[in-house]
Amino acid sequence: MLLLKNGKILEDGKLKAKDILIEGKQIKKISEEITESTAQVIDLEGKFVAPGFIDVHVHWREPGFSYKETIYQASRAAARGGFTTAMPMPNLNPVPDSYENLKQQLDIIEKDSVIRALPYGAITKGELGEEYADFEELANHVFAFSDDGRGVQDANMMYQSMKIAAKLNKAIVAHCEDNSLILGGCMHCGKRSKELGQKGIPSVCESVQIARDVLLAEDAGCHYHVCHVSTKESVRIIRDAKKAGIKVTCEVCPHHLISDENDIPEAIGMWKMNPPLRASEDRQALIAGVLDGTIDIIATDHAPHAPHEKEVPMAESAFGIVGSETAFAQLYTYFVKTGIFTLEQVVNMMSKKVAEIFDLPYGTLEEGKFADLVVIDLERKEKINPENFLSKGRNTPYTGQEVYGIPVLTLCEGNVVYRDI
């Protein structure tokens, strides 16, 4: 047994002192004072305890791209960030479009991951948008279906996939991007792209596919989840769809909440991500979407790359930045400490709400539930330093950024998977 003494948990929006007793994989007791002579004791000294975070959007790169990241390192990086469950995306080699291909990934997860990992199955064979993946064969082994990294271009293919997924009680999780509108861009098509002389990606590239898909999902009766929302038009479409009773949910990434195109100092690879950092009014629309509940959850889109893929001019760079180890601290620093979001809102969007919308038995700090939790030192201050990352990926534009709210202990099913306390 493990006894966490002198922690603080959120109750009715306020921090209250509690002890937490853990036995096996479960939380046995939460109380103001617990004495258990046979338990190993960790004194939390007043630090904040939250449910383990759930990240529905990560790129763990194995099998196929271990030079970018490994499941061994990615899972430890996630644990360091307070995540106890993660959903690896299917843009791998081989693509998990059949059980045979998926099993390679499942075997590595079983061997190397320190946290719970629930992989996606692909929507189409090879994520090429031409043939359907083996939905029925994959359904019992995957979290949901996605072709993340690519938008499904053919409307009927997406529609039929939604109908199949609905029958299998699985969500379609969509990277929304109309290829005919990307126009070879490497950053948002706006003021800053013109100043830097870079080809831009217009906002409509994302929003037009969301508009198509919410109507398809309505007819198919499918749970449709939108990845990494980045534009004000996307927020508006999703808000309207929810009002119409369509089963649509969505996520936003920390970097799209924290930064916009004006923060890009020069056209370098570290600032290249997909979707790109949009205009200031888009960022404000995302924040408003969080506050009014249009945006359901926060996901990192942790996307590690090798140095040679990012330390180049923006036009030549791979899309993506890492985020597992910095997400909570950045959100806490920029939104909770400034009074824009409450601590409870951020924690719920990274745990409880994720579990609710995907019907998962995780994401809560309750007696009898899984002992998935993170201990956070809300007063501790650090500068983001990629050299200290547990991830193989060092590709962040936020090097040197000062943040508060550092995870210091993470437990997954009662096992200590990260400790700095």
Q: Which among 55, 147, 213, 301 is annotated as catalytic?
A: 301
pTM confidence score: 0.97
Distance CA 204, CA 311 (A): 29
If DSSP codes are grouped into helix, strand and coil, which group holds residue 402? strand
Q: Any idea what the CATH number is for the domain that residue 109 is in?
A: 3.20.20.140
The answer to whether the CB of 137 falls within 8 A of the CB of 164 is no
Does 364 map to a domain? no
Q: Are residues 14 and 81 in the same domain?
A: no
Looking at residue 317, its pLDDT comes to 97
pLDDT in tens, 374-415: 999 999 999 999 999 999 999 999 999 999 999 999 999 999
Helix crossing, 204-220 with 155-167: angle to 10°? 40
Q: Are residues 9 and 62 in the same domain?
A: no
Distance CA 401, CA 384 (A): 5
Q: Are residues 127 and 257 in the same domain?
A: yes
Listed range (81-90, 182-191, 318-327, 401-410) with the worst mean pLDDT: 182-191
Strand partners, 86: 55, 117
DSSP string, 180-208: GGTTT-SEESSHHHHHHT--EE-THHHHH
Copy the structure tokens of residue 266. Answer: 């020069």
Does 365 map to a domain? no
pLDDT exceeds cutoff 90 at 10: yes
pLDDT exceeds cutoff 90 at 150: no
Q: Are residues 44 and 150 in the same domain?
A: no
Average of per-residue pLDDT across 15-44: 94
Q: Are residues 284 and 394 in the same domain?
A: no
Distance CA 333, CA 2 (A): 30
| Count helices and strands in the chain by DSSP H and E runs | 13, 17
Looking at residue 270, its pLDDT comes to 97
Looking at residue 171, its pLDDT comes to 98
Alpha carbon distances (Å) from 375 to 34, 49, 299: 18, 4, 19
The answer to whether the CB of 346 falls within 8 A of the CB of 298 is yes
Which of the listed residues 358, 381, 398 is the one where a domain comes to its end? 358
Query: Residues with Cβ < 8 Å from 421, sequence gap 6 or more?
Result: 42, 44, 47, 375, 377, 408, 409
Does 363 map to a domain? no
Q: Any idea what the CATH number is for the domain that residue 381 is in?
A: 2.30.40.10
Overall domain count for the chain: 2
CA torsion through residues 205, 208, 210, 216, sign: negative
Q: Are residues 88 and 12 in the same domain?
A: no
Q: Are residues 256 and 337 in the same domain?
A: yes
Q: Are strands 40-43 and 2-11 parallel, antiparallel or unpaired?
A: parallel
Does 110 map to a domain? yes
Does 90 map to a domain? yes
Does 269 map to a domain? yes
Which of the listed residues 313, 334, 358 is the one where a domain comes to its end? 358
Does 10 map to a domain? yes
Residue 159's pLDDT band (cuts 50, 70, 90): very high
Domain limits for position 36: 2-48+370-419
Average of per-residue pLDDT across 288-293: 98
> Is residue 222 left, alpha or beta, with left meaning phi > 0 and alpha meaning psi from -120 to 50?
beta
Which of the listed residues 337, 358, 379 is the one where a domain comes to its end? 358
Query: Residues with Cβ < 8 Å from 225, sequence gap 6 or more?
Result: 56, 144, 171, 172, 173, 174, 248, 249, 250, 251, 357
Looking at residue 277, its pLDDT comes to 98
Q: Are residues 42 and 157 in the same domain?
A: no
Q: Are residues 347 and 284 in the same domain?
A: yes
Q: Are residues 273 and 255 in the same domain?
A: yes
Copy the structure tokens of residue 259. Answer: 């930064």
Q: Is 260 a known active-site residue?
A: no
C-alpha 142: how far from its chain's center? Answer: 16
Q: Are residues 69 and 174 in the same domain?
A: yes
Does 344 map to a domain? yes
pLDDT in tens, 193-247: 999 999 999 999 999 999 999 999 999 999 999 999 999 999 999 999 999 999 9
Q: Are residues 412 and 273 in the same domain?
A: no
